[in-house]
Amino acid sequence: MTKIVGLFRSETAATAIEYGLIAAFIAVGCIGAFTAIADSTSTKWNTIETESTKAMN
């Protein structure tokens, strides 16, 4: 019985879950930032392509 009560008082699992959630939030933030940067970069390259095609014609 004492071992079962000890499991419920253990904070190791709670700490691991908290670290996992923090890592997940960081990952979601990075994915959002990378997506925004990729969209911006793609738009700039499309503009460069359009302008260079205009200049060559």
Residue 47: the pLDDT is: 95
Q: CA 18 to CA 26: how far, in whole Å? A: 12
Q: Tell me the one-letter amino acid at 45.
A: W
Cα distances (angstroms) measured from residue 3 to each of 10, 12, 15, 52: 10, 15, 20, 73
Residue 2 has pLDDT above 80, yes or no: no
pLDDT bracket for residue 3 (50, 70, 90): low
Residue 45: the pLDDT is: 95
Q: What is the per-residue pLDDT across 17-55, written as a single tens digit (0 to 9) for each?
A: 899 999 999 999 999 999 999 989 999 999 999 999 999
Residue 9 has pLDDT above 90, yes or no: no
Residue 23: the pLDDT is: 96
Largest CA distance in the chain: 84
The structural domains of the chain, with segments of one domain joined by +, span: 12-52
